[in-house]
Structure formats: C-alpha cells, structure tokens
Structure 1
Amino acid sequence: MNAPRTRVQRRPVHGVLLLDKPLGFSSNDALQKAKWLLRAEKAGHTGTLDPLASGVLPLCFGAATKFSQLQLDAPKRYEALLKLGVTTATADAEGEVLQTREVPVITAGQLAAVAERFTGPIRQVPPMHSALKRDGKALYEYARAGIEVEREARAVTIHALELAFSQTEDGQPAIHMQVACSKGTYIRTLGEDIGEALGCGGHLVMLRRTATGHYGVAQAMSLAELEAMEPEARLERLLPAESLLADHERVILGTEDAARFLSGLRRRGAWPDSERVAVFGSEPQALLGAARTQAGELIPTRLLSPIEIQQILQKESTPEGAPQAPGIEETL
C-alpha cells in the first residue's frame, strides 16, 4: 500500500524570493515548488522564463503579489549564446531544424554594425512558440497544432547590446550576446534576427536572465539551496514586499491619515506630483500600499489589507509582543 500523503499546513507568507530558475522548469513549476517549500498560502511569479532559460525570477508571496506587475514592466538583462548557421522552428535548441547554411567570414566591423542596427527602438514579430494570447489561447498552442497565426510587430527597446565572437560546446561558430532591454522583448527573436542580418541564420543554445529591474541574479538562490534549508531558515531569505517599490517616492503618514488611507480615502499634503509612491504608516512604520500624487492629493492605487499588515508586523516583532498596525482597529 502507498503511504498516505502528508497534508501541508499553509501559512501566511509575505515577501519576495529571488529564485535562480533552473533549466527544464517552467516558471510556474518553479513557483509551485517554492510555494510548497515555504508552505505559503498565496504566491505568484513576475513574468515567465522559458523552460530552456535560467536566471533570476522574483517570486512574490502574500502582500507582495499586489505589486508583482511592477516587475512585469521592469527592464531586463539577458546573456545568450547564438549558434550560427542553423535555424529552428522555435528559434532555440528545442525546435525542429528548418535550415542549415554555411557561416560566412564575419568581421568585427560587421558585428559592430549589426549590434548598432539592433540597438534602440526596434519592432519584433512575436514568435509562434510563445505564451502571448490570441483569442484566449497561447500562441504555442496554435503552433503545436500546426497552425500559423498572423502576428503584428510590436515595439520594444534594446537599451544596450553587446555581441562577441564565440563557439558552442562542440566548437560550432556562435555569437555571445549581452542584452539590456524593455519588457516584452523576445531574446529568441532578437537572436534569430541577428543571425539573418549576418547572412546565415541562427538559434539560441543558451539563455540566462541576469537582472530584472533592480534585482540581479547574484542575489538569487537555487531551488536546491532552498530545499536544503531548514523550514524557518527559508523565510529569512525573503525580501520585504516594499523591495518591489524601491524606485518609488516614499511618503509616511500619521496614525489618523494612515487609517483613512487604508480605507481607500485620498489624503491631502504638500507632495510633488509622482506616479510612483510607496506609502508607510509612522507608528509603527509599516508599508500600507502604493499610490500616486497629483495636485497635492495622495491617491491610493494598491492597498495592503489590515490583516496583511498585522501579519508582517508580527513576523518582524520580538517574542515579547507584536505592535499594532496603524489604523487596523479602525478599518476592520
């Protein structure tokens, strides 16, 4: 007989885990594994990484999920290896080979010219093998069914692009790519387009995300490292939810204003106009949510619940007693 499965007791967990996603895992697979290890009630990731890509993937838990869109919109950095002379159906090593061509002699000047050509605002046609939706279905679902769907080119920005001559593990000619780009950029498509510009085509054999917004892969940990930790030690690796708002203006409200802000009311003050504001209570100092300021008004955009604030404060407090979150009694 099979042993009965142990039921995991979920708990409220709040914060951001910087995961170095391993190869072979989908973003959701990695999320569910980390969620299980942390025994978290609520979790979400901040944008997908292909199973054949590794690198930094911020995972949001509890209150932090309310600000995950900020990382979806953040600029990204990638490192990739483009194998020249072979194009595939998916623009990476997973796809069927479509064409093999001889790789011409490429000069440093030609490579620099191609890098310049693809730097700045460009337009990309999203690949069929992508999670982009059309009529409620991901494009990769159409691709697997052998259906080609017309896609409109989309505007993206390549902030920086460095190309260098390299080789694959088996000694085939390749280009090492370092890319800083806007959200929505498909590095596989960029590599494919660069291969065509060099006259021989190509596909990615390695892709690694090295940064998203202000989060870098050097700060991230692997699933294996997380699994090897004691359960409570895993919680210590979480960054606070407010780390997602690091580039926001900071506003601190007194107890009365904090309570009203938490109930969704606008507050008035001598604040300059800003689209990105992180709002904190003063006694104790705790994140209340995000807002924007316009014409001297603080306008709530995303609010933590009083229960979430209380749970965060209890985690941060000493065993002798947990401070009360600002305005909780008034807003329950």
Structure 2
Amino acid sequence: MHGFLNLNKSPGFTSHDCVAKVRRLLKFKRVGHAGTLDPAATGVLPIALGRATRLLQFLRQDKAYRATVRFGLSTTTDDLEGEVLHSQAVPELNWETVEVALRQFQGVIQQVPPNYSAIQVGGKRLYDLARSGKEIVVQPRQVEVFTIDVLDWRPGDFPELDLAIACGPGTYIRSIARDLGRAIHTGGTLANLMRTASSGFNLEDSLTLEDLEAQLQQGTFQPLALESALGHLPTIALPEAIARRWCQGQRILWNHELPLQTLETKKSAADTALVPTTMQVHHENGQFLGIGQSVNTETGKILIPKIVFEGS
C-alpha cells in the first residue's frame, strides 16, 4: 500500500501517536508524517504510506490554521497546556486596540519559537531543555505570515479573538498569540488551534482515525495517489523509450532527446521560475514515475533522476 492519508488529528494525540495508530490499523511499517501538530491541536496531519514517505521532502510547505487567542493570560507553553505565569482579567480591552497591534504580525516577521517546542538548540529539543529547568535563549527566526483574517472578537474579562492564518514553514501560531498579548500589554495565549490545510491537503477532505478504521473494516479505504500532493511542481511527460532509460537511472539531455514542448509548467504563487529545479516526472501515458531535477549545463538542460518509483 503506497500513497497518502489526509488525517484529521483529534486532540490529545501527538503526531507520533497518530503514526503509530495508523501503523497498527494498516499493519504497515513504512508510515511517516509531514508538519508536526501539538497534542492539543486538531486538523490536517498529512500521513505518508510506503513509498510516499520518500516524497515528504517535496511537499508544499505552506499551512493554514484557525486559531483562538485568549487575552489576560500567559503560560509556560504559550497555550492552555502549560503552567499559568500571569492571569488578570482585562474587561477594558477593546477590539480597536487589538486590531492595531495585529497588523505587525503579517508579512515577513522575526519570531521567537515557544520554549516548549521541538526545535533543537545545541543538539537538544527545546521542550527537553525547558522541562529540565535549564535557562533557554532562543534566537528569533524569520518566518512569513501570508494573511491574517479576523473571524470573531468576543469581549469579556478574558477576551478572545478567532483568526484564520495562512503562513509559511516554521511559523508558530502559539508565538503569534504570545507576542500579540505582549504587544497590547495584557498577556496572551493560544486557547484553540485547528490546522485547516497543510502540504496541499485540506480539512474538508480529511479522515479521522475513526473514519479510517471504519473504511478498513468495510474494505473501502484507498490511499491518495503518490502524486496527489505534488501539484505545485511542474510536470514533464516522457515518451516510452526515454521513460525506460530515466527509470534505469540515466540522465536525459533535453535539447537533443526530449523536446521542450513536452514540459508542462504548473506554477504556484511562490514559484514563478520558468524551469523550476524539482519536477514530477510522468510517463506519456500518465503514470507517475518519480521526482527529477533539471540542471543547466554547457550542453543544455539535464533531467536527473532523484527518486524513481517505476520498478522499485
């Protein structure tokens, strides 16, 4: 069994828990995931099965979330799972103050990851350092927040703000909640988080573990195709003779052996290059063959096999 599972993660499970559960249900060893979700978070967790695990590195990196920020509260983990550091009702907080502060978190920003996160410092995970009581100095990182849309504002003693956030890799929504609270001097923490899109997969098409188990019992489960999450990459279709050679590990010289008109570019907003380096390679009959890399040389462009699935 090879392909992808668009899993809708339930609260209380780590991403590793989900992989282990899928392994048990499918009785399959080669299982991996893209984009870790915190235990309290829910939503899209892409799961790779079999050969698809080799494609995880080529998936889209952008993600989308629905998040709730609670003001007047700060915790050690920047969400409700941590120890409370500060709690004070702020009924006087108004939407206009929050709206002005929120603007600084869109675009390319510098962000300090939460102390309780999987990032490594000096070869150790931050959450391990934090639990050991060691002093932690985490350097800011550059991340990109594409859009922040306000879904709801609920005033009260501990006001809450619902947001829809689309962002690039490495962005921590917990950090946005924490830093937004600091910017308005009330404290803030992440009260709820759901990932609505990740690596080309969407919440609307996802399956819960219960859905997966039911489909397996009914014999109706089918993994998503290997190339299902690669639509952001350009596609090149190889004629039979050339496809056979490429699958054997041979390099293909475009300007002599492969007419340039066989190249079908599928550009995303983040990739406007005429000839991107990484490409998905298909047989002319539509069969997915693997991942190739185009390289400019003095004699022309070379299509190099990187991952070949045909015959593997």
Counterpart of 1:68 in structure 2 is: 56
CA distance in 1, matches of 2:155, 2:24: 39
Q: Give the match's secondary structure for 2:130.
A: helix
Q: How does 1:23-172 map to 2 (within 5 A)?
A: 23-71=11-59, 74-103=61-90, 105-163=92-150, 164-166=152-154, 172=158
1:219 matches 2:219 = no
Once structures 1 and 2 are overlaid, which stretch shifts more, 101-110 or 121-130?
101-110
Counterpart of 2:234 in structure 1 is: 249
Q: 1:66 to 1:178 in 2, by over 3 A?
A: same
CA contact (8 A) 1:274 1:294 kept: no
Q: Give the match's secondary structure for 2:100.
A: helix
Match of 1:261 among 238, 246, 259: 246
CA contact (8 A) 1:273 1:294 kept: no
The one-letter code sitting in structure 1 at the alignment partner of 2:120 is K
Alignment gaps of 5+ in structure 1: 1-12, 308-332
Measured after TM superposition, the shift of residue 234 of structure 1 is: 5.1
Counterpart of 1:201 in structure 2 is: 187
Once structures 1 and 2 are overlaid, which stretch shifts more, 262-271 or 93-102?
262-271
CA contact (8 A) 2:75 2:189 kept: yes
The one-letter code sitting in structure 2 at the alignment partner of 1:280 is H
CA distance in 1, matches of 2:242, 2:3: 25
Please give the per-residue CA displacement for 1:79-129, whole angstroms capped at 9, x wherever unaligned. 111111010000111111111234263444323222211111111111110
CA distance in 2, matches of 1:162, 1:115: 10
CA distance in 2, matches of 1:156, 1:247: 20
1:181 matches 2:167 = yes
Counterpart of 2:269 in structure 1 is: none
Once structures 1 and 2 are overlaid, which stretch shifts more, 121-130 or 271-280?
271-280
Measured after TM superposition, the shift of residue 231 of structure 1 is: 4.2
Alignment gaps of 5+ in structure 2: 255-259, 264-273
Q: Give the match's secondary structure for 2:16.
A: helix
Q: 1:102 to 1:24 in 2, by over 3 A?
A: same
CA contact (8 A) 2:234 2:279 kept: yes
Counterpart of 1:321 in structure 2 is: none
The one-letter code sitting in structure 1 at the alignment partner of 2:163 is M
Please give the per-residue CA displacement for 1:233-253, whole angstroms capped at 9, x wherever unaligned. 3532x1101012111211111
Identity %: 34
CA distance in 2, matches of 1:108, 1:230: 48
Q: 1:167 to 1:33 in 2, by over 3 A?
A: farther
What TM-score results when the alignment is normalised by the length of structure 1? 0.82
CA contact (8 A) 1:273 1:292 kept: no
Q: 1:49 to 1:25 in 2, by over 3 A?
A: same
CA contact (8 A) 1:250 1:277 kept: yes
CA distance in 2, matches of 1:202, 1:32: 33
Counterpart of 1:292 in structure 2 is: 293
The one-letter code sitting in structure 1 at the alignment partner of 2:34 is T
Counterpart of 1:273 in structure 2 is: 275
